[in-house]
Amino acid sequence: MNYSRFVAWLVAIVWFAWAAAVDTQTRTAWVTSAWIPDVGVALFVAWAVRIDVRHLLMLALLAALARASFSVEPPVSILAAHIAAALLIGLGRQSFDLSRPFARALVAATVINLWAYWSWLVLIARHGEGAAPTSGALIAAALGTGLLTLFFGGLLAKLPGVGALGGRSFAR
């Protein structure tokens, strides 16, 4: 690994930590948290659909590490969700061009909905009870995160310092 790629990975974890902090603060400060887009998922999807497939697990690890540092969810469940999202994106990239805006938004909406169900299953496993996500909350989360990824996914992929992660074709 060359020096510029190493620095890009360090900068990527800083951006993931920033996104996790923003997500945590907005969800605890506002009552209508279902409509607030998940910046961390949007950032993860914006990068995951563009970087080399062999780096998806490293990206998932860094995103999970940053999210776990600001979350009350169990770190193992966060890591599992990120790895599952990376595998889903990796499989999707074999058949589709997921770097297009609408495809990227659809992927982000799907990931956030699967994440909501996964979080619910973890809650049930840990405490034996928990309210299932309602269809309204799932639609709100998917719309918010999907629209954020649709309109700002290209900008998220071009954040300063991370261009070396994908080489020349990263920020197309």
123-152 confidence digits (pLDDT tens): 888 888 777 778 888 888 899 999 999 999
- Report the mean per-residue pLDDT for the chain: 87
Q: Which of 21-35, 63-77, 113-127 has the highest mean pLDDT?
A: 63-77
Token digits of residue 101: 């805006």
What would the mean pLDDT of 5-16 be, rounded to a whole number?
A: 91
Rounded Cα–Cα distance for residues 12 and 59 (Å): 8
171 falls within a domain:
no
Number of structural domains the chain divides into:
1
Range of the domain at 22: 3-162
The answer to which of 28-32, 110-114, 149-153, 155-159 has the lowest mean pLDDT is 28-32
Q: Is 169 inside any structural domain?
A: no
pLDDT confidence of residue 171: 42
Residue 170 lies in a domain: no
C-beta of residue 79 within 8 angstroms of C-beta of residue 61:
yes
The reply to whether 88 falls in a domain is yes
Rounded CA-CA distance 152/83 in Å is 23
Rounded Cα gap, residues 52 and 90, in angstroms? 9
pLDDT of residue 106: 94
Q: For the chain, where are the alpha helices, taking DSSP H only?
A: 3-29, 39-48, 56-68, 75-95, 101-127, 135-157
Task: Compute the distance between CA of residue 162 and CA of residue 26 in angstroms, rounded to an integer.
Answer: 25
pLDDT of residue 172: 43
Lowest mean pLDDT among 41-55, 62-76, 125-139: 125-139
Would 128 be classed as within a structural domain?
yes
